[in-house]
Amino acid sequence: MAAITIRDMCVSYNKGKSYVLDNLNLDIRDGEFCVFLGPSGCGKSTAMHCIAGLLHPVSGEIRFGEEVMTAAKGKGKDKTFVPPQERNIAMVFQEYALYPNMTVRENMSFALKTKKVAKEEIEKRVNYMAQMLSIEQLMDRRPAELSGGQRQRVALGRALVRDPQVFLLDEPLGNLDAKLRDQVRYELKKIQEQLGITTIYVTHDQTEAMTMADHIVLMKDGHIMQEGTPEEMYDHPANEFVAGFLGTPQINIFSCEVKKNTLDAGTFQLGIPEQYQAALTPYAGKMIHLGIRPSDFELAKEGFNAIKGQVESIEPLGDAYLIYVRVGEKIVVFKYAGEHAPKEKELLLVPNMEKLHLFDAETEKRINR
Amino acid sequence: MSNEMKIERSRANQQAQTLRVKPRWHMTALHIVYYLIMASFLIFYMLPFWGTVMTSFKTNSEVMMSTPITPPTEWTLEGYASAMEELGVPLLTSLFVTLFGAAGSVFLGSVCAYALSKWKFKCNNVFFIALVAATYLPFQAILIPLLQTISALDLYDNIWGLVLVHTVFGMPMCTVMMRGYYADVPDALIRQAMIDGNGMWAIYRKIVLPNTRIATITVFVFQCTSIWNEMLFALVLGGYDSKPATIALNELAGTMAAEFNVQMAGSLILALPVLVLYIFMGKYLISGQMSGAVTAS
C-alpha cells in the first residue's frame, strides 16, 4: 500500500503546443479510494496512465510513498522512470483486456506467474479471490464464453489477486447495465475497504464518484477544479462547474442583481440572509449567479422569499417527484419528496436559505462559505 | 406453447408462403446462362489439369498414340517412378529451403510487425515505408549484386544460401501482412500485460503470438507456397548440389526425348504439397485473410 504524490505534472501529446494536463498537483492518502471525475477529455485517464507508467509526462514528479516513480524535467526526458511492470500496480481497463487465449484461472494467475510466485500460493490467492467475487464456477472458461458482468468480475479478480500497492480502475463499470453496475459498485467498495489498497478510480459518472469515493478529484480541461470528500464537494462547490457537475438533477442557476438586502432575479426576489451579507457586500449593485439544488426547495402556500412558477411537467421517481416549473423564461427543477404530486398548476417554491450557493458572475467562483 | 401462439405462427407461415415468388422465365434463363459461363470457365481451368493427371498415368508409348485428355488404357506409375528418380533429392532440398526459409522470414517478419504496430519509436513509419517498398522490388534488378554477395559469403551452390535469400527477401512481405493482423490486437491487452509485469519480448511471446496463431499460419503457408514454387533464385544461386525441385522439373522438360508422362508426373508431384496444404489449411487461410481485412473490436 502506498500514498501517491503528484507534483507539477504536465502532459502534452503534441510536443508542448498544448497541455492535456497542466501543472497537476495532488496528494492521495494511503488506503484511500480516490475518484478522478470529469467530462470526456478532461485528462482524468491521462493522469491515471501517467501514474501507471503507461505515459511519460513532459515534466513533474510522481511518487509512491517515498519512492520516485516518474521524475521528468522538460522535453519528455525522464530523470527517473520506473516502467509499469516494476511499479507493483494493478489496473482494470474499461474494455477489461482479458487475455482471450487464457482461461479465467490462467488470466488471474498470469501476473503472479510472471512474478514467479510459488504455485501453491498462486492457487491459494486465485481461489480466495474467485470465492470473494463468486466466479468459482467460471474458472475453466475462456473470456469469450463469459457475459459482460462476469468478464468485469474476472478483470477485477485478476487485479486484486496481485496484492498491489496501488489499484487503478479506468471506467471499469462503463460497459455494464444499470442493475449490474449498482451491484458491482457496492462489491467493489466493500472489497477495497477490506483490503485497504490505495485505489484510483476514473469515471465521468458523478453517482459512482459520490457513492464510492473517500476523495473526489473533479477535473476539467487538464486542471483540477476542486478536490475533497463527496460531502464537501456537494455542499460547498468551489465554482459553478463543480456545482453543476455534482448532483442529479443539475443545480438551478439564476442570474441575480445584488440589491440592498435582496437578491433580485427579475422574476422573484429573495431576502439576503445575515450569513451571506458580508460575502455579498463587494457585489452590491452587481450581478451574481445564485445556485439552488432541486432538493433544496419546499412548497409553500404563500409567503416571503418564494419563487412563483407554472408547472410544466412532473416525473415520478417512485419515492419522489421531479417537478419542472417555469419561472419567467427559465425552467426550474424541483425534487418533491411528498407522497402525492401536487395538483396545482401554479406553485410557490421556497428555497432553503441555509443552502444557497452564490457564484461570481464573471469568474464563476464561489462567493459564500 | 399456447393456442394463440400456434395460430400466430401458422398465420406467419402462410404469409411467408404467399410471399414466396415463383421464379419468372427470364430469371431461370439468366441462371442457365450463369451456369454455362461458370461451367465453361471450370472446363477451361480443369482441362489442362485433367490432361496432366491422365498423361501422368500413361506409359510413354501410349502418350505418343493418344490425346492427353483420354484416360489411359493401362494405368501405370511408371512416369512417377522415373520422375522420382530425378526429383527425389531436389524435392528434399526444396522442402528444407521452404521450411527454413518460411520459418525464418515469418519469424523475422512477425517480430518486425510487432515492433512496428505496437511500439512507438523514432522513424517508425519510415521503416514501414521502406519495407513496403522492398516488397515491390523486382528481384531481377538485384540478381547480380546478390550473386556477388552470396559468393563472397561462400554460400553459392549451398542450401543455406537459398535459405538466407528467401528469409531476407520474404521478410518484408511477411512484415507487411502481419502488421495488419497485429494492429487488430487491442492496445489495452498490451498495456494490461505490461501492468502484469511483462516486458516487450514477453508480451510478444505470451500475448501477441498466441492470439494471432491463424495469422501466423496464413503467412507461413503463403510464404511456403512462394518459396516452394520459386525458380529465379533457385536458378541463379542453386548450382548443382543445392538444386531445388522447380529446377529439376525444368530439366525434366528440357531433356531431348519428350517423356510427357514423366514430366506430367513430376509436375503433379511438385504441385501436390501445395495442393494438400491448401485443402487442409484452406479454412484457416480464408479466416486468416478475413480477420486481417476487418478491424477486430
Domains of chain A: 4-238 (3.40.50.300), 249-360 (2.40.50.140)
Of A47, A92, A90, whose CA–CA distance to A70 is shortest? A47
Sequential pLDDT tens for chain A (369 residues): 689 999 999 988 887 788 888 888 999 999 899 999 999 889 999 999 999 998 888 889 999 988 889 888 765 455 888 888 888 888 888 888 899 888 999 999 999 998 888 999 999 989 988 888 888 898 999 988 888 888 888 888 888 888 888 999 988 887 777 777 887 788 888 888 888 889 999 999 988 899 899 999 999 998 999 999 999 999 999 999 999 999 888 999 999 999 888 889 888 888 888 888 888 888 888 999 999 999 998 888 777 788 989 999 999 988 889 999 999 889 999 999 888 888 888 888 999 988 899 999 999 999 887
- For domain B78-293, give the fold: MetI-like fold (1.10.3720)
> What is the number of CB-based contacts under 8 A between chain A and chain B?
53
B27 has a pLDDT exceeding 90: no
Is the model's pLDDT at B283 over the cut of 90? no
Gap from B197 CA to chain A (nearest CA, Å): 4
Among the partner-chain residues A54, A83, A162, the one whose CB lies closest to the CB of B191 is: A54
Q: How many CB atoms lie within 10 A of CB B34?
A: 10
* CA nearest neighbour of A106 among B288, B206, B49: B206
Query: What is the distance between the alpha carbons of residues B97 and A179, in angstroms, rounded to a whole number?
Result: 60
Residue in B188, B193, B198 nearest the CB of A95: B188
Domain residue ranges in chain B: 3-56, 78-293
| Chain A environment of B187 (Cβ under 8 Å) | none
Which cell is A182 given? Answer: 449498482
Number of Cβ within 10 Å of residue A140's Cβ equals: 10
Cell numbers of A337, please? 419528496
Best of B195, B207, B209, B214 to mutate (most A CBs within 10 Å, chain A): B195
Q: Give the up-direction half-sphere exposure of residue A16: CA atoms within 13 A in the CB hemisphere.
A: 7
> Which of B192, B201, B203 to mutate to test binding with chain A, by most A CBs within 10 Å of its CB?
B192
Q: Which of A206-210, A365-369, B17-21, B119-123 has the lowest mean pLDDT?
A: B17-21
Task: Evaluate whether A77 touches B188 at the Cβ level (below 8 Å).
Answer: no
User: In this structure, are residues A48 and A167 in contact, taking their beta carbons and an 8 Å threshold?
Assistant: no
Write the residue in B194, B202, B211 that is nearest to A54 by C-beta.
B194
Q: What are A's interface residues with B at a Cβ cutoff of 8 A?
A: 52-54, 83-86, 89-91, 93, 95, 97, 99-101, 110-111, 114-115, 162
Nearest partner of B113 among B181, B213, B195, B160, judged by Cα: B181
> Once rounded to an integer, what is the mean pLDDT over residues B232-251?
80
C-alpha cell at position A262: 435582496
* Chain A: residue whose CA lies nearest to B297: A95
Candidate from B195, B197, B211 with C-beta closest to A101:
B211
In what order do the strands lie in the sheet containing A357-360? A269-271, A262-264, A252-259, A287-292, A357-360
**This prediction's pTM:** 0.74
Question: Which stretch of A150-164, B2-16, B54-68, B248-262 has the lowest confidence by average pLDDT?
Answer: B2-16
ipTM: 0.78
pLDDT tens-digit map of A222-259: 899 999 999 999 999 999 999 999 988 899 999 999 98
State the CB neighbour count (10 A cutoff) for residue B24: 9
